[in-house]
Amino acid sequence: MQCPRCQKAGFIRLEHIITGLASRRAFYCGVCEHTWVIEETPGPLSPRPFKFPAPVKPKTRRFGPKR
């Protein structure tokens, strides 16, 4: 990644900013102290299929001698 102002590479600090569903990448150049932000567009949300809860197995007790 290069700074768009001074075209230097290697002196760039990157921060990920996450707010709710939106996210941004903020860059800072350590040479010329220029800052810029790139917005990241979220992908489409796919609805998860509804899953029924697993059936509960009844707990039975057997009385008498073990077989």
- Residue pair 24/17 in contact by the 8 Å Cβ criterion: yes
Our CA angle for 6, 11, 17, nearest 5°, is 100
Token digits of residue 23: 């996210």
Q: What is the pLDDT of residues 20-61, one digit of tens each?
A: 888 999 999 999 999 999 998 877 777 878 788 888 777 776
Residue (of 38, 34, 33, 49) closest to 15 by Cα position: 38
- The pLDDT tens digits of the residues spanning 38-49 come to 998 877 777 878
Secondary structure of residue 47 in the 3-state scheme: coil
Question: What residues are paired with 2 via a beta bridge?
Answer: 9
